[in-house]
Every structure is written in structure tokens, then in C-alpha cells.
Amino acid sequence: MGQTLTEKILDDHLVEGELETGEEIGIEIDQVLTQDTTGTMVWLQFEAMGLDEVQTEIAAQYCDHQTYQFDFKNTDDHRFLRSAAGTYGAHFSRPGNGICHNVHRENFAAPGKTLLGSDSHTPTPGGIGELAIGSGGIDVTVAMGGAPYYIEMPEIVSVRLEGELPEWATAKDVILELLRRLSVKGGVGKILEYTGPGVETLTAPERMTITNMGTELGATTSIFPTDEQTEDYLERVGRGEEYVELQPDDDAEYDDEIVVDLSDLEPLIAQPSMPDKVVPVSEVEGESVEQVMVGSCTNGGYEDILPVAKMLEGRETSMETETIVAPGSKQASEMLAREGWVAEMMAAGVNFSEATCGACIGIGHVPASDSVSLRTFNRNFEGRSGIEDDNVYLCSPEVAAAAALKGEIIDPRNLADELGDLEAPGVELPEEYDGSKTDLISPDEAVDDELIKGPNIGDVPLKDQLGSEIEGEALLKMADNITTDHIIPATQDILMYRSNVPKLSEFTLSRVDDTFAQRALDADGGFLVAGENYGQGSSREHAALCPMYLGIEGVLAQSFARIHRANLFNFGIIPLTIDEDTYESIDQGDEIEIVDDVYEAVTSGQEEFTVRVGDEEYTATLDASERERDILAAGGKLAWTKEQAEGGS
Ligand code: F3S
């Protein structure tokens, strides 16, 4: 039987296990990336493990999430990250140089390589055939030290593209259509491999918009085969020699197939406040829009901003709408500026902003209360924009530009009819991506050779080895789809403590219950209880680290999101799955006890645990590999890795 493209790349990198669905495999990692909110912990952990030098082909540290240095804590973090990159041999991308995924795809991403990144949208370069996976920071630390990355072999699903996108429909509409059909849980435990004749009609940047937002489906990653479009893109970014042709075998077998006819697509929009609440734009036409934001790692490329510039050229944006354009990389800004497009947009009323994640996580450009903000981003979870009563819609740059002109949501096809002279801008790549590279510092150019730590940079908290008894209060009971944004919000006032775990922990789950952190500390341990898909969203390992610091020993949930589940193991918190009846039977404040000898049960491979809640007993399941059990028993991945290095168990 032939192999899928995913299997070919995994086979090339396999160091442990077999490529059978559900089996744990260990793969060699060629490239790693990290960003400023997760990077400080990555390097502190690298230091705590006593490692000397990065072992992967490429390691890159980006400063993109919080680039506005209006508090010394951020600047201290950036300085620490630069010093860590210099000390250990990573590339360093300075604040303002752009979003990690955009800068990485322009400079390092390559077909056939594996990439592990401590950011959930790491799968972006799957659009040019790199097998790219998002993970917790500690997994990146360990991979940077040269160890394999372990993962349960996902199902491989073929997403067969047919036809060709009609005018005004875009790559964003392809992924919104998949979210409409499959929901934010539809890709869990799966790798989406794009196939079919429609693939060749999409340029590499369009493919990367699709693979970027595969994360919103919960997919482990998404990948496209490589072809002339890939080669063309690599040549334009000046790395044509890195092209390799990668295709699945003709007789490859997939676990499932989804067919999308591109010709049937139309402009779509995700309504507040979930990326899968997708409807045709025409269904929500007329809603007035106070803010339009173009940018992010999904739609912040040169090719995404250019259509907006073309649509706005010689026109004026609505007086009622604030329109902000924040490209994904400084290179894109520079090229658009040299070509005169920045001036055109500014003349049309655009507020041109620096290349940063910023507004995507509520840092800057926070919408007015209870107003509509239309964004080309990938996530619209409630409160993520920086205000709780937000109404964030997600759409393509073309739909965003149409709203900027009209002041309300409008299908761009209808706006074109109204205006008479508005043409669909289509997709256009630059001759050459030729921005200057002054903000990307290679290991050879490193300016520091020792770590520089400011007062806000603390040590990494450690957990003791797993004990035999776990009991405590159900400190918080939560509903389905709790995101890592709920657990540790990423807003500026909170994020600046990302290197100071005791302080950051005060904000744990404050968006659900602002008394939680203090109650957890007072209780000296306890449980969290949640419904389905607990921990969806970003890869933020603080969402496990801070509960661990507060003494949380177990999470009982109906299901867990992939990266967060791994993070719970990594920080020594036991993730137990419960059924709906058990979930319904537990009330916040109940006393919970795991009846089994927990250490013994975890290390012996026991799957079913007896959980006593008051006078009743229920069954909870620990679905974990041997390695995950060892990590849990050791008290987390840092302790486990040290054990391994010292020749322990
Ligand atoms: Fe940044 Fe938002 Fe992407 S935080 S990495 S632009 S999802």
C-alpha cells in the first residue's frame, strides 16, 4: 500500500514507534520556533535542564505577541530572549519584525522538514509541505535539546479540493467552510492532508492561510503537497534551492475524505464568538461595523494586504468605521511602502500599524464596548479582543475592506454592484520578497553570550514527584469549550507577568471566577472539573503551569484539547476523562478523592480510576502512553527529562 504525504515525512523522521493510528511515535525535529509569551519559559527551562546549545537545524525566537514596550517588564523579556538566543544559538527576531509564522515562512520553512513551535498556529508552513506542529513550550525545549517529539499517531484525512475559487471567494473562505461543516472539534486527533485537482489553483500563501487556521478545527496539523506553486513561492523568497517535490502515492489510503468544491464557495464570515459560527456574508449584511482590522498570522501577508490596498485605492473608508491594517511582517510593510500602497491606504483613512500580534490577543486596538469589530484573524473567542462584551467577526481581507468602505457588513459582490467600478482584486504575489533583514539576528551575529535577567524574570516552579493520594475540593466547575484564554488571559496587563509565575497565577481562571486563585491557594490543592474540549485554543503552557503552581492536582473533564492535555502531563497534573453523568453529578465545592494508590496506578498502566465524590463513586479514565505516565509520575516533563539525562527511570 502506498503512503500519504504525511506518512512519508513522518517515516523520514521516525525514531520510535510505528505509523499506526493511535500508537505513540517519536519523531526527529528539524526546526523549532518560539515566541515572546512562551519563549521566556522555554529558555528558562533550557537553562534549568543544563543544556548548552540548540541541537536542531533551525531554532528561532520571535518577539511578536507583545511588542509595545510601554512597561519595562516587556522590554526586559525581549532583552532576556535576545540574550538566550545568542547564548544558545538561535535566530532572534526583534520586536516589530513580525509575527512568528509570517517571518518563519519567509525565512526558514522548507518542504519535507519537521517544525515544532510553542504557538498553536505553528502548522502554517504546512502550506509549503513542512510538517509543522504546535506544542507546549517544554516540548520545544526538549526538542531543542535534540530529543524526539512524541505524539499519538493521528488519523490522516484527505481534504480533496475540486474546482477553482470564483471571484471574491478566497482561501479564508475554504477554511471557514471547513469550520462551518466540521466545527472547532472536527479536526481533533487528525492531520488534514489536502489533495485533489483544486490544490494547484491555490498559491502557496493561500495554502498557508488554510493550514494556519486548521488549528481552529483542532487538527494536529494540516499539510499540502508541493508543486510548481511551492517552488515559485520559494524562489520569490530567495530560497528556491530548498524546493523538493512531495506528493502522496497514487494508492495512498486515508482514514477519511472530505470533498470541497472550490467553485461552490462564496464570501463567508464567522459570527461572534466562535470561529465555527460561519454563515455566508450576505446573511449578516447591514450590521454596522465600528472597527475593521486586517492582519494576523492568517491574513497578514503581502498577498493579503495588497487586495485591501487595491480595493481602497482612490476611495475613502467610512467615517463611522476605524480601519486598521497591521501586516504580519515588517518585510510585508516595507514592500507595500516601497510600492506606494501604504500611502494609498493611509490616504483612504487607514491607520497603518506595526507588524505584531497585538490586537489578536487584546493588546492594542481593543474595540469599543458592545461594538462590532470585523477582523481577518483566526479566533474570536469572547473577550480575546481585550473587552468582555465584544462582537468579533472573522472574514477575508476582501470582506474586511468592503466593510471599511461601507461602514457595515456587506458581501463584496454586492458592494461591487453598488459602486460599479470595484473589481475583485484576486491574488498577486510580489516578484521578489525583498524586504531588509536587519531585524533578524542570526546566531553568527549574536550580540549576547550570556543570559540577561531583569527583576520580573523568575525561576521555573517545580512540582514534586506524584504522590499516592490525591484528594481535594472541586474548586471550579466549568462548561464545555473552556479556552486557554479563559485559563490565563493573554491581555497586556496579565501577559507582562509571563516570566513571573507567582504573580501571573493570581489571574488563573479569573475570567470564569475571580476568587479562584485565592481559593485554590487557601485550599492547598484540589481539582478542576470541565465539560468537553477543555483547554482549546492557544498552546499557552502557563494554562497548565499556573494551575500547577496554585496546587491543582487533577482535572476531570469530558474531553481535552490536544496541546493542553499534553501540557497537563508536562506540569504533573493528572487529566482524567469522565462521562457526562459523572460530570453532571459533581458540584463545585464537592470533596473529591481518587480512591486508588495514584502513583502505583499511574505507573502500572491502570486506565480506570475510582473517584469518590461525597458518598458516591464514579469511574474516570486515564488515557495515557507509558511515556506520559512516566512524566506524570516524575512530577512533570522537566523533572522527567532530568531523570532521563541522569540515567534514572
Ligand atoms: Fe499572533 Fe494571533 Fe497568530 S496571537 S501568532 S496573530 S493567532
What are the C-alpha distances in Å from 159 to residues 6, 11, 604?
13, 21, 40
Q: How many whole angstroms from its chain centre is CA 540?
A: 9
Reported as a single tens digit per residue, the pLDDT across 221-267 is 999 999 999 999 999 999 999 999 999 999 999 999 999 999 999 99
Residue 463 lies in a domain: no
User: What is the rounded average pLDDT of the residues 45-49?
Assistant: 90
Q: Identify the CATH number of the domain in which residue 592 sits.
A: 3.20.19.10
User: What is the rounded average pLDDT of the residues 196-210?
Assistant: 98
What are the C-alpha distances in Å from 440 to residues 58, 109, 437?
13, 15, 6
Q: Identify the CATH number of the domain in which residue 132 sits.
A: 3.30.499.10
Give the span between the Cα atoms of 242 and 131, in whole angstroms.
Answer: 15
Residues 581, 493 within the same domain: yes
Residues 400, 517 within the same domain: no
Sign of the Cα pseudo-torsion (48, 78, 542, 123, in order): negative
Nearest of 512, 396, 432, 4 to residue 238 by alpha carbon: 432
Give the span between the Cα atoms of 640 and 268, in whole angstroms.
Answer: 46
Evaluate if residue 492 carries a pLDDT over 80.
Answer: no
Residue 425 lies in a domain: no
The pLDDT value given to residue 647:
67
Give the span between the Cα atoms of 108 and 60, in whole angstroms.
Answer: 9
Cα–ligand 1 centroid distance for 381 (angstroms): 13
Residue 452 lies in a domain: no
Q: What is the pLDDT of the chain when averaged over all its residues?
A: 95
Cα Rg, the chain, nearest whole Å: 24
Residues 241, 330 within the same domain: no
Percent of the chain with pLDDT over 90: 91
Residue 436 lies in a domain: no
Residues 225, 342 within the same domain: no
Sheet order of strands, 221-223 included: 221-223, 190-195, 155-162, 256-261
Residue 618 lies in a domain: yes
What are the C-alpha distances in Å from 584 to residues 121, 161, 353?
33, 42, 47
Q: Categorize the per-residue pLDDT at 493 as very low, low, confident or very high, splitting at 50, 70 and 90.
A: confident
Cα–ligand 1 centroid distance for 638 (angstroms): 27
User: Which residue among 119, 384, 495 is best mutated to probe the pocket of ligand 1, counting the most ligand atoms within 8 A of its Cβ?
Assistant: 119
Cα–ligand 1 centroid distance for 99 (angstroms): 7
Ligand 1 atom index nearest CA of 379 = 7
Residues with CB under 6 A from ligand 1: 65, 99-101, 119, 121, 296-297, 357, 360-361, 378
Collapsing DSSP states into helix, strand and coil, what is residue 89? coil
User: What is the rounded average pLDDT of the residues 294-304?
Assistant: 98
Percent of the chain with pLDDT over 70: 100
Residue 59 lies in a domain: yes
The pLDDT value given to residue 495:
81
Q: Categorize the per-residue pLDDT at 648 as very low, low, confident or very high, splitting at 50, 70 and 90.
A: very low
Amino acid occupying residue 400? A
Residues 219, 273 within the same domain: no
In the numeric block, which cell numbers belong to residue 169? Answer: 471567494
Evaluate if residue 353 carries a pLDDT over 80.
Answer: yes
The pLDDT value given to residue 649:
41
- Evaluate the omega torsion of the peptide bond into residue 353 and state whether it is cis, within 30 degrees of 0: no
Residue 458 lies in a domain: no
Cα–ligand 1 centroid distance for 62 (angstroms): 12
Transcribe 474-525 into DSSP letters. EEEE--S--BHHHHS---HHHHTTTT-HHHHHTTTTTTT-TTHHHHHHHHTS
**End-of-domain residue from the set 414, 436, 461:** 414
Residues 373, 480 within the same domain: no
DSSP 108: T
Reported as a single tens digit per residue, the pLDDT across 548-592 is 999 999 999 999 998 899 999 999 999 999 999 999 999 999 999
Give the span between the Cα atoms of 224 and 535, in whole angstroms.
Answer: 27
Residues 251, 307 within the same domain: no
Residue 64 lies in a domain: yes
Residues 626, 604 within the same domain: yes
Residue bearing the CA closest to ligand 1, atom 2: 360
Residues 41, 186 within the same domain: yes
Residues 253, 348 within the same domain: no
Residues 402, 474 within the same domain: no
Residues 273, 258 within the same domain: no
User: Which residue among 100, 360, 363, 385 is best mutated to probe the pocket of ligand 1, counting the most ligand atoms within 8 A of its Cβ?
Assistant: 360
Range of the domain at 504: 470-645
- Its pTM stands at 0.93
Total domains in the fold of the chain:
3
- Evaluate the omega torsion of the peptide bond into residue 273 and state whether it is cis, within 30 degrees of 0: yes
Ligand 1 atom index nearest CA of 35 = 5
Evaluate if residue 600 carries a pLDDT over 50.
Answer: yes
Reported as a single tens digit per residue, the pLDDT across 604-613 is 999 999 999 9
User: Which residue among 120, 361, 491, 492 is best mutated to probe the pocket of ligand 1, counting the most ligand atoms within 8 A of its Cβ?
Assistant: 361
Residue bearing the CA closest to ligand 1, atom 4: 357
Predicted ipTM? Answer: 0.99
The pLDDT value given to residue 490:
80
Give the span between the Cα atoms of 262 and 175, in whole angstroms.
Answer: 11
Ligand 1 atom index nearest CA of 64 = 1
Ligand 1 atom index nearest CA of 100 = 5
**End-of-domain residue from the set 218, 244, 264:** 264
CB 552 within 8 Å of CB 520: yes
